[in-house]
Structures are given as structure tokens and as C-alpha cells.
Amino acid sequence: MFHKIVLLLIALQISFISCYANESDMAQELKQLISKISSENHENNMSIEDEMMLLSKNLSEKRVTPINIQAIDQDNYLLYERDAPLNHMASKNANKTETHCIVKHISGDGVSKNINTLNNVELFHITKMYKVDKNKYVAVGYEQDLTKDSTHQAVAMLIDETGKTLWKTIVGRGKSYSEAVVQTHSGEYVVVGHDFVWENSDKDSGNYHVMVAKVDQQGERLWTKHYSLDGRFAKGRNIEKTQDDGFIIIGETLYKAWIFKIDALGNKVWETFLDTSKTADRAYSIADNHQDGYIVTGLSNGTYPENDKAWIIKINYSGEIDLNIPVSLPEPFMIQTVNQINANKFMLTGFYPGAISNSSFFMKIDSDGKKVSEKIVKLKQ
């Protein structure tokens, strides 16, 4: 019975961490851990509950995992890593997990340099983090209260260069996730993510809708709005501000990539969709090329054993798709940022999942969707 439980827990843990850890090292570590716990069980006649707790605590060892990449310009990036327990269930208070965030500067030639460590950042899950001035960072993610049916609440928080919380604000309802944030021209913050919206008061049916929330410079939530197509499933993944104080939201709905613009008050101005022949299309990153529109990149889910396919599109300031480039890459990856270098080249950044997840990539793509060059930056282990 014990070994069945151990194997189950290990399988669950590997499914969580395999995206970020070296699999051969992890297999060896788990093998040693099983041997250690089996030995202690034999000597102390531990109960199954004690064995499970011991395994959980051992698997909560801190590791460095990637958070996100922030594009400063096409030649300079900030890479954020997280040093925190992998297993939050082993923490006495999940919401008080102390996370150390490492900030690295990545140059266009792939040189990596640590520039800061934010200590004891109190946020259960950090989705994205951005530097907003010389000594402040804004982070978005969610808190989870394990005593209330694993309720997730989307939050935004401002921290100083030491990791001290300046303010933390709940921006969603009881089952919400924040995915990205942008600072407005006037210094406010607009968060995008998704929120579960019930269709009626009986709460017997509902769907995720795109969530957009505006927070002032002191952390006061000004408003939260939800967007969907006739109440259908929709998620928000990223956001970009516009020159007229509006915002471009990207994500997915009805298996299509969804891009739409809202004004400063949250009113929808226009929308467009990308629908390929794949199972589902999702938009993940957007950037203003400051010339004639926005560059958006995303993934189209393939059917097994085919990998997900990436794409880059250009949308003009009126919301029309002017360019659609399928990206030809054989390996799976996680998209972080996209930028247009010139008329014929784009910069794509992200992380490689699975066994090589200790790497981030900075890849140049040509107008045919082919890889021109690539710089790999190893993450700290």
C-alpha cells in the first residue's frame, strides 16, 4: 500500500515539475528519496500518513524555476526566476510561502547577468513580473486558500527592490487567475486574466470569461470587467497599451485566438480572431511595433504526436490582420515575448519545456517563419 501511494505522489509531483527540472537528475533524486523513506519506515514503523507527509516535505525542497521574460527592447530583456518550494502543500500557510525572485539582464548576444534578488515575495503563484521603474516591480498571480475548496483569487502586487510588499490587491472573484499586467501612461496598472462567471444565482453552470481590472498607483482597484462571446468560454493571456490610452487584449475563445481592443473605460472598440485548422488557437504575446500595428504570437494545438505549431501575425491599428506567418520549429516550447526587428525579422523568446527546461531561448525568425539564429541561456539549478 505504501509503495502504491508513493508512486502516485511521485507521478503527481513529476507532472508538476518536469517542465522545469532536469529529468535525469530528478529521477535519481526521487530514487534516493524513496530509499531513504523506506528505510525510515522500516526503523520507525511509520504510519501511511506520516510517510506521505515526509515525502511531501522532502519534495518541497526549493528549486529555481522560470517565471517570465520581459522585453525592454529588441536587444535587452529581463529574465525572472523563482526560488521557492515546489510543493506548496507542504507549507504551513500556502499564501505565506517565501519566494525569492532572481532578476537577470539578458543582452541581445545572449549574455546573462544577475542584477537583483527580491527576497521573501509573498505570493502563492507568480504568473508574471515586470520592472516598472528603477526600484519597483509589479507582479500578478493568484492566492489560494486551501481551506475553501481550493479557491483561487487573482491578485496584483507592487514590491520594492528588496521584495517588500508595497501593496497587494485582489482583482478577481473567488475563482480567478491573473496572467499579465501593463502600466498605463499615467502610472496606473491594468491586469488581464480570466474569472469564472456563474450563469445564474444557483451556480449550477458557468464559464471562464476574460477578466480585465484597473488598479491605481496606490493599489486601489478601480474596476473589474468581464468579456466573452455570448457567455462562452474565454481566457485572457496578455495585454498591451495603446497610444490613445486604450488596451489590446489577447487570449482565446471558442477554440480561436481572440484579439480585441478596449478604451480607457473598458468599452470594446474592435475585435478579430485567428482560426487555423488545428484543435485550438491561443494568443500569448503582443507588442506594438510603433510603426503600423501590433505583432502577436501564439500556439495552435496539434494532434498527437504532432507538436504545437507557433504563428506570428501582424494586426494594424484598426484590428485587421495584415500578415500571418506559420513558424516552423520542430521542438515544443513556451512563448514569452515577441518583437519585430525589421520588415523581415522577428525576435521570439520563451522557455523549452520538459528535459531541457533549464534553458530560455532568444530566437530570430524570418518572414517565412524559419529560425535564423538562436541564443540559449541556461537557468540556475
Q: Please indicate, yes or no, if residue 23 is contained in any of the structural domains.
A: yes
Dihedral pair phi/psi, residue 303, rounded to 5°? -90, 145
Angle at 78 between CA 115 and CA 343, to 5 degrees: 145
Residue 270 is assigned to a structural domain of this protein: no
Say what the pLDDT of residue 320 is: 96
pLDDT band at 330 (very low <50, low <70, confident <90, very high): confident
User: Tell me, what DSSP letter sits at residue 291?
Assistant: S
- For the beta sheet containing 98-107, the strands, ordered from the edge strand earlier in sequence to the opposite edge, are 62-73, 76-85, 98-107, 112-122
> Domain for residue 137, yes or no?
no
pLDDT digits (tens, 9 = 90+) for 212-271: 999 999 999 999 999 999 999 999 999 999 999 999 999 999 999 999 999 999 999 999
| Residue 18 falls inside a structural domain | yes
- Please give the Cα distance from 50 to 48 (Å, whole number): 5
The CA-based dihedral angle spanning residues 163, 129, 127, 118, taken in that order and rounded to the nearest 10 degrees: -20
The total number of structural domains that make up the chain: 1
Give the CA count within 13 Å in the CB-facing half-sphere of 183.
Answer: 16
In-domain check, residue 301: no
Grid coordinates representing 321? 490582420
CB pairs under 8 A, 24+ apart, for 298-306?
A: 298/250, 298/257, 298/274, 298/335, 299/335, 300/276, 302/278, 303/278, 303/279
Q: Between 11 and 310, where is the model more confident?
A: 310
Across residues 301-315, what is the average pLDDT?
Answer: 79
> What is the structure's pLDDT at 203?
76
Which grid cell is 346?
A: 522577428
**pLDDT tens, position by position, 52-103:** 555 555 554 556 788 999 999 888 999 999 886 655 544 445 445 568 899 9
Length of the chain, please?
Answer: 381
C-alpha cell at 251: 487570449
Give the rounded percent of residues in the chain with a pLDDT score beyond 90.
Answer: 56
Q: Which residues contact 310 (CB under 8 A, 6 or more apart)?
A: 297, 298, 299, 300, 326, 327, 329, 333, 335, 348
pLDDT, position 10: 46
Percent of the chain predicted with pLDDT > 70: 75
User: Does any domain span residue 101?
Assistant: no
Average pLDDT over residues 308-337: 91
The three-state secondary structure class of 164 is: coil
C-beta of residue 201 within 8 angstroms of C-beta of residue 152: no
Segment 304-333 mean pLDDT:
86
Contact between residue 365 and residue 374 where contact means Cβ atoms under 8 Å apart: no
The closest alpha carbon to 138, from 182, 172, 74, 99, belongs to 182
Secondary structure class of 308 (helix, strand, coil): coil
The whole-number pLDDT of residue 32 equals: 55
Domain that holds residue 35: 1-59
Q: Give the pLDDT confidence of 152-179 residue by residue, as tens digits.
A: 899 999 999 999 999 999 999 878 999 9
Residues in CB range of 376: below 8 A, 6 or more apart? 110, 359, 360, 361
Query: In what order do the strands lie in the sheet containing 309-316?
Result: 281-288, 293-300, 309-316, 321-327
At residue 27's C-alpha, the angle toward residues 24 and 32, to 5°, is 130
Q: Are strands 221-227 and 206-215 parallel, antiparallel or unpaired?
A: antiparallel
Residue 215 lies inside a defined structural domain of this protein: no
pLDDT > 60? residue 42:
no
Inter-residue long-range contacts of 115-122, CB under 8 Å, 24+ positions, other chains counted? 115/78, 116/161, 117/163, 118/159, 118/161, 118/162, 118/163, 119/162, 119/163, 120/163, 121/159, 121/163, 121/165, 122/95, 122/96, 122/97, 122/98, 122/165, 122/168
Distance CA 78, CA 89 (A): 30
237 or 306: which leads in pLDDT: 237
Inside any domain, residue 54: yes
pLDDT, the chain, mean: 82
Name which of 29-38, 105-114, 207-216, 227-236 the model is least confident about. 29-38
